Every structure is written in C-alpha cells, then in structure tokens.
Amino acid sequence: MTSFPEKLDRALTDCCIQLNECASIISEIQAESKKEDIQKIGRAMAEILELRSNLYRLHPKLKPADWDDPPSEDDYAIMYQNALKIVDNYLGAGKVEQAIDTLESFIFIRPAKKYALLASSRIKKIRKENAL
C-alpha cells in the first residue's frame, strides 16, 4: 500500500513533468506574453521543488538518489539553447533589453563556465549591434 508521503511525492513529480511540458508548448507559441508565461511556470516549478525538498527532509527515504546532483553540462547546453530561442524572439520583436535580460538571467544560475562565457559574449554582441 502506498503511503500518503509517497502519493504526495508522485503527485508533485507529475506536476513538474506537466509544467515542463507546458513550458515547451508555450515556447512554440508566437505570443506576446510568452516570456511572462514561461516565467510563471518557472516560479510554479520552484514552489513545487521547495515542497518536494520539505517532503524529503521529513521523509528522507523518498529522496531520489540524484536529487542533490548539480545540472550536467548537457543540461546547461539545453538551457542555453532554450535561452537563445527566447533571445532571438525578443530581438526579432525589437525588444533588445528583454533579450539581454534573458541572457543575464541565464548567467545568474551559474551555468558551466563555457555557457556563461557564451552568454556574456552574446550580450556584448547585442549591445554593440544596438549601440547600447
């Protein structure tokens, strides 16, 4: 029989999976509010991850083995590519500051050095091209 903590863990995990799928769908939509919508999903995921952390403190046996592992280089590569898609959309719409903000937000998460340097270089290029 599944315990209530196990049911909660499964439900929270499913929520994260569904929210990730929503973010992927939203990223394909050509909507003005796309960035804000993805940020809302990110905040919702952060809240769910905090709930999961609290659950694992109370029930350490539920914590996945890789829960404390940092993102891999491949994870950062995917995050960087997703950030570039958002940047390109902003630049295409003439929203230079939002494009720069997106790259700065990516750097803020402290990605692998390679991707931080790529993002910094892209910011410099955007600023130069737009006389900022």
pLDDT digits (tens, 9 = 90+) for 90-124: 898 898 988 888 888 888 778 889 999 999 999 99
What is the structure's pLDDT at 106? 83
Residue 126 in tokens: 């955007």
Residue 49 in tokens: 């991850």
Tell me the C-alpha distance between 79 and 69, whole Å.
16
Whole-prediction pTM: 0.57
What pLDDT digit, counting tens, does each position of 30-59 carry? 677 777 887 788 788 888 888 998 999 999
What pLDDT digit, counting tens, does each position of 52-86 carry? 989 999 999 998 887 777 888 888 888 898 888 88
- Burial track 94-121 (b if 16+ CB lie within 10 A, e otherwise): ebbeebbbbbeebbeeebbeebbebbee
What value does the mean pLDDT of the chain take?
A: 86
